Amino acid sequence: MLRKLRESKAFQGTLLVAPTLLFMVGLLIIPLLLTTVISFGKRDADGGVIYTFTLDNYARLMGYSTQCDNGATSCFDPLYVNILLRSLALALQTTVLVILLAYPLSYFIARAPAKRRNTFLFMVLVPLWTNFVIRVYAWMMILRTQGVLNGVLGAIAGFLHIPFAPLEMLYTPGAVLVGMVYEFLPFMILPIYTSLEKIDNSLYEAAADLGANTIRTFFRVTLPLSMPGVVAGTILVFIPVMGTFIVSDILGGRQVILVGNLIQRQFLDARDPTFGSAASLILMVMTLVVTYFYTRKFGFGEEIIVA
């Protein structure tokens, strides 16, 4: 009996899956279910949770408010809606800019001689050896009023004998965008490089034999075959950008509030876990919806037609 059980492929498969399944259930499914239950509760006077069923937290996130200046029983307050839209817009901007910067660099590395590729990849990965927060603080030194960038611009202006006023770049949405792009750029470069590096050179030769020029070859061969890397990189960038709060806290000076900052402050400052849980679930739903339609639109591969 035991011998048959050991030789059973179903039993062997169950044993192989069991550690991962337990990990997923214990650290993902159960916390997610608990967060869902808390999101429908109410906050008590001490910051605890009153387990009941109410949609007040979700209504508050969508702009419905019962605290109105004109004395009305309900009104629309776009505060949290604007935070959600700002987070979505910043994530999309970051992803687009990262793709535009990462693709040519990945292409350059993929087409470089084999002996140099590892060196270039090493240079891409070096920043990741430094702590995430330290890299963000480094940008503070660059973007502040008396920072490196203003110093360089001032020196250039002095050399050209033109007036120069230091730019106020820190604690702005632009500074947050720069920090996001810098932090997540390697996560787009690596998957795109992997896809580009696997393209067979004979495909380029075939395209040239069929009369395709460089631009046509790029759009008919290179880009379609590299789309799996672009899609994978997009997911690796878009999802964490939607939920991060460190960059916006440091480079935004707590003035550029994203949904990640909102969740953090609800749990740690406002001590309102019910509203923070509702915001977490809304963030997850928004991210899943955008990711679903993106992958449905672009997929993980395209048919190659060279003509």
- Write out the chain's pLDDT in tens, 307 residues: 666 666 677 777 778 888 888 988 898 899 999 999 999 999 988 888 999 999 999 999 988 876 666 666 677 878 899 999 999 999 999 999 999 999 999 999 999 988 899 999 999 999 888 888 899 999 999 999 888 999 999 999 998 888 888 888 899 999 999 999 999 999 999 999 999 998 888 888 888 888 888 899 999 999 999 999 999 999 999 999 999 999 999 999 888 899 999 999 999 899 999 999 999 999 999 999 998 888 888 765 444 333 3
For residue 43, the cross-strand partners are 49
For residue 42, the cross-strand partners are 50
Q: Are residues 104 and 15 in the same domain?
A: no
Q: Is residue 24 part of a domain?
A: yes
Q: Are residues 24 and 86 in the same domain?
A: no
Q: Is residue 14 part of a domain?
A: yes
Q: Are residues 135 and 17 in the same domain?
A: no
Number of domains present in the structure of the chain: 2
Global confidence as pTM: 0.86
Between the CA of residue 79 and those of 18, 36, 151, what are the distances in Å?
44, 23, 37
Distance CA 83, CA 238 (A): 16
Query: For the chain, give me the number of helices (H) and strands (E)?
Result: 15, 4
Q: Is residue 240 part of a domain?
A: yes
Q: Are residues 217 and 105 in the same domain?
A: yes
Question: SS3 breakdown of the chain: % helix, strand, coil, rounded to 5?
Answer: 70, 5, 25
Q: Are residues 182 and 276 in the same domain?
A: yes
In the prediction, which pLDDT does 10 show? 74
Q: Are residues 20 and 96 in the same domain?
A: no
Q: Is residue 89 part of a domain?
A: yes
CATH label of the domain that carries residue 200 = 1.10.3720.10
Q: Are residues 164 and 109 in the same domain?
A: yes
Rg (CA), the chain: 25
Q: Which domain holds residue 126?
A: 81-298
Of 129, 89, 133, which is closest to residue 238 (Cα–Cα)?
Answer: 89
Q: Are residues 11 and 147 in the same domain?
A: no
Q: Is residue 91 part of a domain?
A: yes
